[in-house]
A and B are shown apart, each in its own frame.
Chain A
Amino acid sequence: MALVDLLLVVGVIAGVYSLLAIGMNMHWGDTGLLNFAHAAFFAVGAYTSAILTTPPATGDLATRVVGFDFPIVVGLLAGTAVAGLVGVLIAITSVRLEGDYLAMVTLSSAELIRLMIHNEAWLTTGAQTLKNIPRPLSGAVPVSYDLFYFVLVWTIVGICYLLFTRLSHSPFGRVLHAIRENDDVPLALGKNITVFKLKSFGIGAAVAGLAGGLWAHYVYAISSIMFLPSITFLIWAAVIIGGAGSYAGAVVGASVIVFLRQITRFIPGDVPFGDQLAYIRLMVVGAVLILVLYYRPEGLLGDAERLQAGTSE
Chain B
Amino acid sequence: MVLDPQLIWNGLVVGSIIAISALGLTLIFGILNFINIAYGDYMAAGAYVAWAVNAQVGLPLGVAIVAGILTMSVGAVVLDKLVFQHFRSRSPITLLIVSIGLAFIIRNFIRAIWGPSGHFYDLPMEANPSFLGVRFSVEQVAIMVVSILLLLGVYALLRRTRIGIAMRAASDDRMLSRIRGVDTEKLVLYVWLIGGAIAALGGIMLGLDAQLRPNMGFTALIPIFAAVILGGIGDPKGAVAGGYTIGVAQEVSVAVIPSEYKFGVGLLALIVGLLTRPDGLFGEATR
A residues neighboring B (CB under 8 Å): 34, 93-94, 97, 99-101, 103-105, 107-109, 111-112, 115, 118-119, 229-230, 233, 236-237, 240, 276, 279-280, 282-283, 285-290, 293-294, 297, 309-311
Q: Are B271 and A93 in contact (CB under 8 A)?
A: yes
A134 to B36, CA, bound (A): 42
Contact mask for chain B residues 86-121; partner A; CB cutoff 8 A; 1 contact, 0 none:
110011111011101111110111011000000000
In the assembled complex, how far is the CB of residue B175 from the closest CB belonging to chain A, in whole angstroms?
14
- Quick check: is B263 within 8 A (CB to CB) of the other chain? yes
Interface size on B, residues (CB 8 A): 42
Nearest residue, chain A, Cβ from B225? A104
- Quick check: is B204 within 8 A (CB to CB) of the other chain? no
Residues of B within 8 A of A289 (CB): 97-98, 100-101, 104
Q: Are A100 and B103 in contact (CB under 8 A)?
A: no
Residues of B within 8 A of A105 (CB): 267, 270-271, 274
Q: Are A115 and B264 in contact (CB under 8 A)?
A: yes
Nearest residue, chain A, Cβ from B258? A119
Q: Are B94 and A118 in contact (CB under 8 A)?
A: no
* A119-B258, A282-B108 known; A100+B98 contact, CB < 8 A: no
Q: Are A108 and B270 in contact (CB under 8 A)?
A: yes
Residues of B within 8 A of A97 (CB): 274
A229 to B37, CA, bound (A): 12
* A290-B83, A310-B91 known; A112+B112 contact, CB < 8 A: no
Chain A to chain B contacts (Cβ below 8 Å), 19 pairs: A94-B274, A99-B92, A99-B93, A100-B92, A101-B233, A104-B35, A104-B229, A105-B267, A105-B271, A109-B267, A119-B258, A229-B218, A282-B104, A283-B112, A286-B108, A288-B101, A289-B104, A290-B102, A293-B98
Q: Are A276 and B112 in contact (CB under 8 A)?
A: yes
A294 to B97, CA, bound (A): 11
Q: Are A279 and B103 in contact (CB under 8 A)?
A: no
Checking B94, B107, B112, B261 against A297 with a beta-carbon cut-off of 8 angstroms, the contacting residue is B94
Residues of A within 8 A of B91 (CB): 310-311
Known: A100-B92, A286-B100, A297-B94. 15 other contacts (CB 8 A): A34-B93, A94-B271, A103-B96, A107-B221, A115-B261, A118-B260, A229-B218, A279-B108, A286-B103, A289-B104, A290-B83, A290-B101, A293-B87, A293-B90, A297-B90
Q: Are A286 and B261 in contact (CB under 8 A)?
A: no
Nearest residue, chain A, Cβ from B33? A100
In the assembled complex, how far is the CB of residue B117 from the closest CB belonging to chain A, in whole angstroms?
13
In the assembled complex, how far is the CB of residue B214 from the closest CB belonging to chain A, in whole angstroms?
9
Residues of B within 8 A of A309 (CB): 93
Q: Are B105 and A112 in contact (CB under 8 A)?
A: no
Max chain A CB contacts within 10 Å: which of B98, B104, B112, B267? B104
Nearest residue, chain B, Cβ from A109? B267
A109 to B274, CA, bound (A): 14
A297 to B83, CA, bound (A): 15
Residues of A within 8 A of B271 (CB): 93-94, 105
Checking A94, A119, A285, A290 against B261 with a beta-carbon cut-off of 8 angstroms, the contacting residue is A119
In the assembled complex, how far is the CB of residue A201 from the closest CB belonging to chain B, in whole angstroms?
16
Q: Are A280 and B102 in contact (CB under 8 A)?
A: no
Q: Are A101 and B229 in contact (CB under 8 A)?
A: yes
A289 to B96, CA, bound (A): 12
- Quick check: is B34 within 8 A (CB to CB) of the other chain? yes
- Quick check: is B43 within 8 A (CB to CB) of the other chain? no
* A112-B264, A112-B267, A293-B97 known; A286+B102 contact, CB < 8 A: yes
Q: Are B100 and A233 in contact (CB under 8 A)?
A: yes
Residues of A within 8 A of B233 (CB): 101
Residues of A within 8 A of B24 (CB): none
Residues of A within 8 A of B96 (CB): 34, 100, 103
Contact mask for chain B residues 168-196; partner A; CB cutoff 8 A; 1 contact, 0 none:
00000000000000000000000000000
